Amino acid sequence: MTVKELTSFSEFQATINSGKAVLIDFYADWCGPCKSISPHFHQHSDTNASTEGIEFYKVDVDKLPDVAQECKIRAMPTFQLYKNGERVADMLGAKPTELTALVQNGLALA
């Protein structure tokens, strides 16, 4: 599965309420750590492409400030894991090992 870019607040709401485990990368184009962790996020998406239960999304906080505010994003990158509309886990920073653990958590929810 490829990483999908969310483009509206309503799309964000529909995505997190889909019933699937959803992992979202909140980023900004100007954020250096966001750029360094992005390949790891995409790799997890590619590695878990055959998994039916987890989906990978990105939100540009500069393009969707309403989503960033709703999710209480204070720094980037921030990763949030959702299931049935509820945030179940999150991670702040460009930490590949912690990102792997967050993905595993998402797979366990699937």
pLDDT at 51: 61
How would you write the pLDDT of the chain (110 residues) with one tens digit per residue?
689 999 999 999 999 999 999 999 999 999 999 999 999 999 999 887 556 678 999 999 999 999 999 999 999 999 999 999 999 999 999 999 999 999 998 888 87
* Count of the separate structural domains present in the chain: 1
By CB atoms closer than 10 A (0-12, 13-18, 19+), residue 29 is exposed
- Can 31 be counted among the known catalytic residues? yes
Range of the domain at 85: 4-109
- Can 71 be counted among the known catalytic residues? no
Strand partners, 82: 22, 87
Domain of 47: which CATH number?
Answer: 3.40.30.10
Among 6, 22, 24, 31, which one carries the catalytic annotation?
Answer: 31
pLDDT at 48: 73
Among 34, 64, 73, 76, which one carries the catalytic annotation?
Answer: 34
